[in-house]
Amino acid sequence: MEILDLRHFSSVDLRPLLDEEVRVWASLLSWDYSGSADMILRYVDSKILPGYAAIDRGRIFGYAFFVYEGSKGVIGDLFVASDSRNHNAHEVESQLLTHVIETLQQSPGIHRVEAQLLVHETGGVARPFTEQGFQRHARLFMLLPLGPAARTAPPLDPEIEIRGWSEQDYQSAAAVITTAYRDHVDAEINDQYRTLSGSLRFLNNIVRFPGCGTFDPGSSFVAVHKRARSMVGLILCSRVRHDVGHVTQVCVLPEHRSHGIGVALLAATSDNLRRRNFTQLSLTVTEANTHAVELYRHLGFDTKRVFDAFVWEG
């Protein structure tokens, strides 16, 4: 077995492994990963995707890649085939991650590395991260079946209006996100939340790029204080399978919390998806964010997987 630079290969070499990964995402997360897989293959063909491939007799049976975002490195994916012949898949995962982590930590100008590996069970790939000084945060992948029995949300303060997301909402949404995540554990995991420009980049990634499913404006909403004409909360949803929505963001300004706005935003999204015959709604949440976890449980979301987010600051 050899670990080689991913840029020595083409999409033809990587396609069989990604086909298997698409099947794994579908069965574990009800997630159609084929759009992301196509994007990865295009980057591999352009020889611009940094990463490593595990090779056995000319065949790629594992890979990991990362991207640079300014002074931050983000580990985008790690996947090893279940039939790894004579190789211990877990050992191959560790070796790939060790290469990626070393490369990122030694890259000039890189002061931060983030990773969220959804298909890997919590603890499963933690060792190479914790050995290199990463912080680890357990996160839950939760799923709500969108059955016919919709519960009605309790009435909202009449001063608050829930309306559909529009292209004009970018700036206000970025301001709400930045304020909502001040001193929040999720701002340790994703540093984009700490600044207005970072929150705008986050929004841009979610709305314009297909990395995390395809943004679905129809099931995305904002909460507005009518008299003040200001945004006080929002929910963004993407389509991750033809009939599955995924909440990529939900937040409410601190001074408006515990008045049912979070419940109303989630109800607006799930009602919209139900009307369009979606069957499930998923989301991820940090385990330590107990208030949010309790809220989702209360609404019927079930934890399907626990995975880890890793962060290193150099």
Ligand X SMILES: CC(C)(COP(=O)(O)OP(=O)(O)OC[C@H]1O[C@@H](n2cnc3c(N)ncnc32)[C@H](O)[C@@H]1OP(=O)(O)O)[C@@H](O)C(=O)NCCC(=O)NCCS
Distance between CA atoms of 105 and 89, rounded to whole angstroms? 24
Size of site (CB under 6 A) for ligand X: 21
Is 159 a binding residue for ligand X by CB under 6 A? The answer is: no
Closest CA to 289 of 183, 209, 204: 183
Shortest CB 146 distance to ligand X, Å: 19
Distance between CA atoms of 268 and 288, rounded to whole angstroms? 26
Is 279 a binding residue for ligand X by CB under 6 A? The answer is: no
Q: Which two tokens stand for residue 66?
A: 């990362």
Is 97 a binding residue for ligand X by CB under 6 A? The answer is: no
Shortest CB 181 distance to ligand X, Å: 6
Instruction: Please report the DSSP string for 3-67 in residue order.
Output: EEEGGG--HHHHHHHHHHHHHHHHHHHS---HHHHHHHHHHHHTT---EEEEEETTEEEEEEEEE
Is 62 a binding residue for ligand X by CB under 6 A? The answer is: no
With CB atoms as reference, the residue minimizing the distance to ligand X is: 262
Based on C-alpha coordinates, what's the Rg of the chain?
20
Is 231 a binding residue for ligand X by CB under 6 A? The answer is: no
Instruction: Please report the DSSP string for 289-308 in residue order.
Output: -HHHHHHHHHTT-EEEEEEE
- Residue 237 or 251: the one with the smaller Cβ distance to ligand X is 251
- Residue 40 or 180: the one with the smaller Cβ distance to ligand X is 180
Give CA torsion, residues 299, 302, 305, 311, to 10 deg.
20
Site string for ligand X, 137-156 (x = CB under 6 A): -----------------x--
Judge contact between 231 and 264, C-beta under 8 A.
Answer: no
Interacting residues with ligand X between 233 and 262 (CB under 6 A): 250-252, 257-262
Is 174 a binding residue for ligand X by CB under 6 A? The answer is: no
Q: Which stretch binds ligand X (CB under 6 A): 17-25, 94-102, 129-137, 180-188?
A: 180-188
Out of 291, 306, 313, 314, which residue is the one contacting ligand X (CB under 6 A)? 291
Q: Interface with ligand X by CB under 6 A: which residues? A: 154, 180-181, 184, 250-252, 257-263, 285, 289, 291-292, 294-295, 298
